[in-house]
Amino acid sequence: MPTGAQASWTDGILTIAEFFTGNATGFIAGFLKALLLIVGGIVAWLAKGLGFALVYATTTHEYTFIRDIWILARNFVNMLFILAMITMAYASILKLWPNYTIQKMLPQVLAVAILMNFSFAITITGVEIFDSISTTLLANMQDAMDRIAPALSIKTFLSFDPYSNTASIPKSFFSILMYGFVGVSFFIAFVFVLIKIPILWALLISSPVALFSYLIPSLKKKVWDRWLSEYIRWNTFLPIFLLCLYVGLYVLAQQDAIIKVQQPYGNGAGILGFPLSVVFFYLLVGFIFLGGTAAAISGGIVAGSGAVWGATKAKQMTYDALGITGAQRAWQAKVKEIEKSGLKGQVGTSWVGRASDATLGRLYKGEKANEEWQKWWTNAKRFGASESQFAKNIGDEKKSLQDKDASIEALRDILRKKNYEDPETFAAAQILLDKGKLSLDGMRDVYQKYAEISPRAAKAFGDKIAEKVNKQVEDGEITGAPNLNKALELMAQISGADKTTLAPLAAGETEQEREKRIVAFEQKTEIARDRIKELLKKAKKKDPNWATERQILRQTYEEKDEQGVPQIKDYITVKNVLGEKLREVPGGLTPEQELEQGLEAAIAGLNNNTIRELPSSALDPKPENRVFIEQLVKMLSQEGHRIEKIMDDATPEQLRKLELWLDVAQTYALTSSIQDLGSEFQDLQQELNAEEQRLSTNQGNNAPQAQQVARDAQRKINSLNKKLSAKEDALKKASADLRAVHEKLSLQENRDKLNAAGIIV
């Protein structure tokens, strides 16, 4: 038998002549023996091929011709950049494609333009880094070919001699199977190692195009993400495969030791005549080679996808860190936000002495920091400490009350004092709640106080309330419509579905902050709705005759003004008011659609963005849009800054539809202004009369003091006359406009629209 590295390659290969000269005992035995020898030969040749491919794939190549083709691709993409700039210019000037304006695209275009020209160097560096890892692994295995071939020698590999005539049919069959594992693994690896090379070339060449596709949202996912995924996948495949191969070879080299270790557990007949220790070894080898190859292929895919995910996540994290949540946030908005809330980093707790030195928030905290400081200081003064100290104080008091074993009555006495300056009150409430002895009114009052002082503590307390109330309803401890209504109201309050949550854009609040608040509200209303539904279900189980869900919701949330007209209280009321109206319409909406519309209308009535984003049909004069339009008109007649925000980003179609509702809103605004002006005019007139009286009384008097009073009165009269003249002018203007707007609204076309919407002007 030849020795040495090269000679060992022929070890596993038996010639056909050898087969025919063997003493096969029967046809099957002979066939299997031949098959075994052929498979062994193929595996050995595959090992040789794989060895060659591995060396070739990890050798540094001259990439001159690839670079030439890459230059062509780069030049082509550079031309595309000119096209991109023109597109951006048109998009910015004509507002044709809002996603491609200069404000949104410029930073990306610049970054891609620079990176694209270095894409060859960057991608080739990546390839070389992974190749160096592979080379290191190969060197670690010394000579791959030398290591693979002897290990695969049939004699070494099998626990019997295939050249001998003693090899049984089962042994031969089982050995072919084992050999098959290794062969398939080597074949797949061989193919992948070979095709890796041209694929990486193609990826190198296409890198400028891939980078350019990053700029086009519709192509980014298809081209850039895929390119990056493939690039990582084909680069990581080889190191992973080599690692598995190294383990496999090591196991093969340790064949004797492994079989020996297993012998005490499997020296019997085993399977098909093999001892169990040998079967175990074959299975291990098969698993390592096949599994290793599969892991290398799928591992590459995972690594590729992971890289794409990582890149996206990294970008998002960078944006988050910088506070950029959307390209559409213009620089101006950002500056305003920073002015208001300071630099990100520690704003949430940015009062002097608490912010970390390392944070940006330390550098510039903005007005928000002052506000938060004021808020904290107010509470600190009240409780002698911060929120956490407040919680600690309550905890101490609670412990003290528990130690004293205070009776329920004593705890209720503490609560009845309603001394919310004292942490003992909260402690008593907590104990009563734990014991299920806190009334619904008590829960509401304490929760409200908690919310004023510490939102964090309020949330924890609210969750506990929700849990207790649910249990009490389930146990039948809360019964009857008034109590159940109270419980429902409490649930809605805890979930934040109240008017305060829906407050319009607060003074100085940025769009970004408001949007966050709206999102929070939407989430809360979802929770509220679910909680209420859950509660109703339980309540109905206990008291089936209580009421229908709809009736309960209406009873609970409907508010009426002096004239008995239902007023909007929150989203559920909107839903009901809208629902009622819809039920009058033949073929009205389903309850689910009602709910959806109601929610939509409620939210839309209170935030500009939603109004703009709503389909234009929401402004159509139809009964089902009445609530929405009423809210809109109410807002348009009261708040200039809301009109400003809505108009400056609305589409012409929306603006045209809004014209009618602006007319209605102007009617309301003018009517109310005329009333105000009228009363101001009367006040001024009375003041004037008084001054004139003072003047006439003192005018004839020659005493210096009287003369002075007369002069003062005259000055005031002049000033009042000026003011009166201005008011008169305003009144005239308002009256004339009111006439004009009434005339406009009395046109048949407008009257029809108003009637159709059920709006009375």
Partner 1 sequence: MSILNYYFAAPYLAKRLKEDPKTRGAFIAVFGTLPQNIKAILVAQETAEKLVAFGDQYNLKYDVVEDIAFALREVATRTIALEKVPSFLVARGLQNDIAIAAAKEIENILGTPTGSAEQVTNNVVDLRNKSGV
Render 170-202 in DSSP notation, one character per residue.
HHHHHHHHHHHHHHHHHHHHHHHHHHHHHHHHH
Q: How near is the Cβ of 649 to partner 1 at its closest, in Å? A: 8
Q: How near is the Cβ of 648 to partner 1 at its closest, in Å? A: 5
- Cβ proximity to partner 1: between 371 and 659 the closer is 659
Q: At a CB cut-off of 8 Å and minimum separation 6, what does 130 contact?
A: 235, 236, 238, 239
Adjacent-strand bridge partners of 274: 271
- Cβ proximity to partner 1: between 376 and 668 the closer is 668
d(CA 582, CA 87): 47
d(CA 494, CA 528): 8
Q: At a CB cut-off of 8 Å and minimum separation 6, what does 110 contact?
A: none
Residue for token pair 């491609």 = 100
Report the candidate in 17, 18, 30, 43 with the shortest Cα–Cα distance to residue 154: 43
Q: How near is the Cβ of 505 to partner 1 at its closest, in Å? A: 13
* Residue 620, amino acid: D
Report the candidate in 386, 339, 327 with the shortest Cα–Cα distance to residue 365: 339
Q: How near is the Cβ of 469 to partner 1 at its closest, in Å? A: 43
**Which stretches does DSSP call E strand in 275-378?**
none
* Long-range pairs for 358-365: beta carbons < 8 A, 24 or more residues apart: 364/338
Q: How near is the Cβ of 626 to partner 1 at its closest, in Å? A: 23
Q: How near is the Cβ of 206 to partner 1 at its closest, in Å? A: 37
- Cβ proximity to partner 1: between 276 and 650 the closer is 650
- Cβ proximity to partner 1: between 357 and 743 the closer is 743
Inter-residue contact 488 to 552 (CB < 8 Å): yes
Inter-residue contact 204 to 127 (CB < 8 Å): yes
**What is the chain's Cα-based Rg?**
41
Distances (CA, A) of 222 to 111, 122, 123, 140, 227: 20, 21, 19, 39, 8
Q: How near is the Cβ of 733 to partner 1 at its closest, in Å? A: 4
Inter-residue contact 484 to 546 (CB < 8 Å): yes
Q: How near is the Cβ of 326 to partner 1 at its closest, in Å? A: 15
Q: How near is the Cβ of 568 to partner 1 at its closest, in Å? A: 20
- Cβ proximity to partner 1: between 61 and 733 the closer is 733
Inter-residue contact 37 to 174 (CB < 8 Å): no
Residue 160 burial (C-beta neighbours within 10 Å; 0-12, 13-18, 19+): middle
Q: In what helix (H) or strand (E) does residue 127 lie, and over which residues does it extend?
A: helix 119-140
Distances (CA, A) of 694 to 6, 119, 702, 743: 127, 89, 14, 45
- Cβ proximity to partner 1: between 98 and 310 the closer is 98
- Cβ proximity to partner 1: between 225 and 663 the closer is 663
- Cβ proximity to partner 1: between 334 and 550 the closer is 334
- Cβ proximity to partner 1: between 401 and 741 the closer is 741
- Cβ proximity to partner 1: between 101 and 425 the closer is 101
| Cβ atoms < 10 Å from Cβ of 710 | 18
Distances (CA, A) of 30 to 17, 156, 160: 13, 21, 16
- Cβ proximity to partner 1: between 153 and 637 the closer is 637
- Cβ proximity to partner 1: between 256 and 676 the closer is 676
Q: How near is the Cβ of 729 to partner 1 at its closest, in Å? A: 5
- Cβ proximity to partner 1: between 582 and 665 the closer is 665
d(CA 120, CA 122): 5
Residue for token pair 């093969």 = 252
d(CA 530, CA 542): 19
d(CA 680, CA 190): 94
The residues of the shown chain that bind partner 1, judged by CB under 8 A, are 93-95, 330, 637-641, 643-644, 647-649, 651-652, 655-656, 659, 662-663, 666, 669-670, 673, 677, 729-730, 733-734, 737, 740-741, 744
- Cβ proximity to partner 1: between 472 and 638 the closer is 638
Q: How near is the Cβ of 666 to partner 1 at its closest, in Å? A: 6
- Cβ proximity to partner 1: between 553 and 662 the closer is 662
What one-character DSSP code corresponds to residue 506?
P
Q: In what helix (H) or strand (E) does residue 258 lie, and over which residues does it extend?
A: helix 255-262
Tokens matching residue 225: 């993400």
d(CA 529, CA 360): 40
- Cβ proximity to partner 1: between 354 and 739 the closer is 739
The 3-class SS string of 332-361 reads: HHHHHHHHHHCCCCCHHHCCCCCCCCCCHH
Inter-residue contact 347 to 366 (CB < 8 Å): yes
- Cβ proximity to partner 1: between 58 and 101 the closer is 101
Q: How far apart are the first and last CA of the chain?
A: 109
Q: How near is the Cβ of 741 to partner 1 at its closest, in Å? A: 6
Instruction: Please provide residue 566's backbone torsions phi and psi, each rounded to the nearest 5 degrees.
Output: -60, 135
d(CA 577, CA 553): 11
Q: How near is the Cβ of 116 to partner 1 at its closest, in Å? A: 30
Instruction: Find how far residue 284's CA is from the centre of its chain.
Output: 45
Q: How near is the Cβ of 507 to partner 1 at its closest, in Å? A: 13
- Cβ proximity to partner 1: between 40 and 621 the closer is 621
Tokens matching residue 222: 């298809």
Q: How near is the Cβ of 217 to partner 1 at its closest, in Å? A: 21
d(CA 63, CA 120): 10
d(CA 214, CA 109): 9
Q: How near is the Cβ of 391 to partner 1 at its closest, in Å? A: 43
Q: How near is the Cβ of 650 to partner 1 at its closest, in Å? A: 8
Q: How near is the Cβ of 105 to partner 1 at its closest, in Å? A: 16
| Cβ atoms < 10 Å from Cβ of 362 | 17
